[in-house]
Every structure is written in C-alpha cells, then in structure tokens.
Copies of this chain bind each other. A is one copy, B any other.
Amino acid sequence: MQNKEQSSCSTQRINSFTQIDEIAKERRKSFFGGDEVRYVEPMIDIIFPSVAFPSNKIFKAIGQEKIREMVWHHHELLLKTKVGRLFPANEEAFKMAVDKSADFFVEALGGGDIFTSIHGEPKLRARHFKIPIDENDREIWLSMYKKTLKEIEFPREHLEEFWNWIEPLSIRMINRRTSMQNIKRHYWNNVRISF
C-alpha cells in the first residue's frame, strides 16, 4: 500500500473522491468480474487547506473584551440557524461552551494561554468529533461570522487577516461528509466586497 501511495505522489497525482467522475470516465468499461482481480487506486477525500494563524495585531487592536463580544455575538446568531441544534440546550452548559470558545479565540489572537492552561492543547478537530458537522454546517458557521464581523464593526484593516484564518480553519471541523464535492472556498478576494 505504501508503494501505491508514494507512486501516486511521485507522479504529482493524488486521486481524490472529488475527481471521481473524471476517473470513472477513464476506465469504467467492463469493470466488474473479469478474469483477473482488478485494483482500484488509493484515494483521499478532501485536502484540508493551509491555515494562516493570525499575528497579535488583532488582539493589540481590539483587546480581550471585544474578542469575547465577537464570539458571543456569533454564537447568538448560530442559535437562530440549524447549527443551533449542535449546542447544549441547557443555558448554563451553553454559556460554558461559549466562554470556552471565547477563551480559545483570545489565546489564538495573542492574549496569553487562558485556554491551553486550563483545557490543554486546542485539538479543535478532535474536540468537535462528538458533534456531527457537515459541509453545510460549516457554510452557516462561516456566514454567521461574516454577519458578526459586520455587526460588531470589526476593524476593517484587520478583517483580511482574521478571515484568512477562520475560513480554512472552519474546514477542519468537518467530520461528516454528505457529498463528493470539494469543500467550497470563500476567499477574501471574493468576500471583501460584502464588508
């Protein structure tokens, strides 16, 4: 198996399920039950793109309190969407979840280890495994962030750096695939006009 993986690499081709129609066209003819065993190559699903973790510029510009306000605002918007079902129904538990998320955002933006000192490594993908998160949940999460950034008047000069972090980061939380399609990207260049 290792050989196969490496060889598809050395030819600069990693087959992905998102290419499946193309691959099928190449070689479907009389596929099944020939005289010999037939090998279908290893595949990957999606490639989770690079994530640009922000510098401390945002924290220096807006501070802890504004970051917490942002995370709360976002979660209040999420509650009104179908992603809301993924959060604890109990009010106290919900509050704890949002505060924890806010701790993470503060730390990630340069406000000190207030998350990791209590909860350990972020391991965001692993932390979200207990909740099924599909491609559409991620679309909603991201679009509610867009709305949040507008509504809280996040400083315009730092929007790009922030967006370039959360946009690819959110892809890493997807743990339930419902389609062969690649994950939709929302690049800053296409999103900036909505701010």
Interface residues of A (CB under 8 A from B): 1, 4-6, 9-10, 12, 14, 17, 20, 24, 28, 31-56, 59, 107-111, 121, 123, 125-126, 129-130, 132, 161, 164, 172, 175-180
Contacts and interface: CB of A to CB of B under 8 A. Distances in A.
Interface of A is mostly: loop
25 contacts: A6-B12, A9-B9, A9-B12, A17-B125, A20-B123, A20-B126, A32-B53, A33-B56, A33-B108, A33-B110, A33-B111, A34-B56, A35-B55, A37-B52, A37-B161, A39-B51, A40-B50, A42-B49, A42-B50, A44-B46, A44-B47, A126-B179, A126-B180, A130-B178, A132-B132
Nearest to A38: B53
Contacts of A43: 47-48, 172
A20 B180 CA distance: 25
B42 A47 contact: yes
Nearest to A33: B110
Contacts of A41: 50
A102 B179 CA distance: 24
Given A32-B109, A40-B53, A45-B48, 7 more contacts: A4-B50, A32-B107, A33-B108, A38-B55, A39-B53, A44-B46, A132-B132
A4 B53 CA distance: 16
A43 B20 CA distance: 20
Given A42-B47, A44-B47, A47-B44, A37 B24 contact: no
Given A34-B110, A111-B33, A179 B52 contact: no
Nearest to A116: B32
Contacts of A54: 33, 37
A20 B9 CA distance: 20
Given A12-B9, A107-B33, A48 B44 contact: yes
